[in-house]
Amino acid sequence: MIPIARPQMGEEEKERVWEAMASGSLAQGPRVRELEEQFAAFVGAGHAVATSSGTTALHLALLGYDIGPGDEVITVPFTFIASANSILYTGARPVFVDIGERDFNIDPSLIEAAITERTKAILPVSLYGQPADMEAVTEIAERRGLAVVEDAAQAHGAAIGERKSGTWGAGTFSFYPTKNMTTGEGGMITTDDGELAERVRLLREHGMKVRYHHDVVGYNFRMTDISAAIGLAQLPKLPAFNERRRAIAARYDEELRGVLTPSVRAGVTHAYHQYTLRVNERDAFAEALKVRGVGSAIYYPIPVHRQKPFLAIGYGHEALPVTDRLTAEVLSIPVHPSLSDDEVSAVIDAVNATAVELGPIEAAAAR
């Protein structure tokens, strides 16, 4: 079976981790600091603050913007639940708007209508590794006095023109094992806003600048030096990982038939965290791929506003037709950098044979 993800661990990771363990610096220490500096430089942001996960990065970024009870944050339901849960953690309410049919990301033309006097921030998600339309989102946010938190958990190295994901307002990343680079568990906040960086650093460590002197109620959202050691070995490999992902995606774009392949907005560098098709008879399609030895996954089978905890607090009645349609059609196929050329060919053969078997998706709806 060709798996949907395959984390790549080499000698460099082993050496770095062993070095961290032997040093005795196991919790947050010099390696976390070094990873922050290197990641900030990679993204092109003034500051980077490492966290224990992508979820805690989101939570902290929102707290850093002073978002809390009574506030609303505009986001999308077509995402991993952490994007919206992080808003709930602060006591604020997520307000869901629909996504664009072509890029699977927030539809900026729907944002203004969702803004109320309670709105404090917009939280677009750069899903599957394609940056949301951050220019349009930022233009609205600046005009309406709102903060911007880009959930870039899937978008390491993605860019609009020369500008990378993570450089608008605050960006948050995840280093979960299936991501384009990993630290085991881990996350990062990037920003050019020095005050925001200072606030999230404080909140990350129990509100403590001077040991055992606490200024505010904070959290333990720290990354460990062992995780950072993995990250320091992974980060230099990230550009080559992403290049390989893009080369595989280019073959899929070229050779797949009977399915809708991802459309990339002009001027965008896609990081291809996922290569997500729209297919006919999606569940049967996934089964047929499995029979042909190809793993696939549905990101995500239920949109956030229809998940149980959200139904329990009154969500689920929103009219979000594009989200609903795409939820029924999307299927991600392997695009990770460790795929061999033969494996890529096998994926292509399996997808094309399945599309013949189940019939092509009605392309007219999307193009």
Query: Taking the complex as a whole, how short is the minimal distance between the CB of residue 116 and ligand PLP, in angstroms?
Result: 24
> For ligand PLP, which is the closer residue by CB, 72 or 151?
151
* Nearest residue to ligand PLP, by Cβ distance, number only: 54
- Out of 65, 176, 252, 272, the only residue in the binding site for ligand PLP (CB under 6 A) is 176
Q: Where are the alpha helices (DSSP H) in the chain?
A: 11-23, 30-43, 54-64, 82-89, 111-114, 134-144, 194-204, 225-234, 238-255, 282-291, 308-311, 321-329, 341-358
Query: Taking the complex as a whole, how short is the minimal distance between the CB of residue 124 and ligand PLP, in angstroms?
Result: 10
Kindly determine how many residues on this chain lie close enough to bind ligand PLP according to the rule CB under 6 A: 14
Q: How far apart are CA 81 and CA 262, in angstroms?
A: 22
| Cα distance from N-terminal residue to C-terminal residue, the chain | 33
Which residues in 215-274 contact ligand PLP (CB under 6 A)? Answer: none
If you ran DSSP here, which 8-state letter would residue 212 be given? Answer: T
80 binds ligand PLP (CB under 6 A): yes
187 binds ligand PLP (CB under 6 A): yes
> For ligand PLP, which is the closer residue by CB, 82 or 200?
82
Query: Taking the complex as a whole, how short is the minimal distance between the CB of residue 123 and ligand PLP, in angstroms?
Result: 10
75 binds ligand PLP (CB under 6 A): no
Stretches 74-82, 112-120, 250-258, 327-335: which one binds ligand PLP (CB under 6 A)?
A: 74-82
Bridge partner list, 294: 2
Stretches 38-46, 50-58, 207-215, 224-232: which one binds ligand PLP (CB under 6 A)?
A: 50-58
Q: How far apart are CA 73 and CA 71, in angstroms?
A: 7
Q: Which burial class, exposed, middle or buried, applies to 247 when counting CB atoms under 10 A from its CB (0-12, 13-18, 19+)?
A: middle
- Out of 67, 153, 238, 260, the only residue in the binding site for ligand PLP (CB under 6 A) is 153
Q: Within 10 Å of residue 317's Cβ, how many Cβ atoms?
A: 8
Query: Taking the complex as a whole, how short is the minimal distance between the CB of residue 86 and ligand PLP, in angstroms?
Result: 8
Q: How far apart are CA 227 and CA 229, in angstroms?
A: 5
Are the beta carbons of 146 and 119 closer than 8 angstroms? yes
> For ligand PLP, which is the closer residue by CB, 62 or 355?
62
Backbone angles phi, psi at 313, to 5 degrees: -110, 25
Name the packing angle between helices 11-23 and 225-234 (round to 10°). Answer: 150
323 binds ligand PLP (CB under 6 A): no
Which residues in 82-121 contact ligand PLP (CB under 6 A)? Answer: 82-83
- Out of 36, 72, 133, 151, the only residue in the binding site for ligand PLP (CB under 6 A) is 151
- Out of 75, 79, 105, 234, the only residue in the binding site for ligand PLP (CB under 6 A) is 79
Q: Smallest Cα–Cα separation from 124: which of 87, 91, 157?
A: 87
Are the beta carbons of 122 and 148 closer than 8 angstroms? yes
Interface with ligand PLP by CB under 6 A: which residues?
A: 53-55, 79-80, 82-83, 125, 151, 153-154, 174, 176, 187
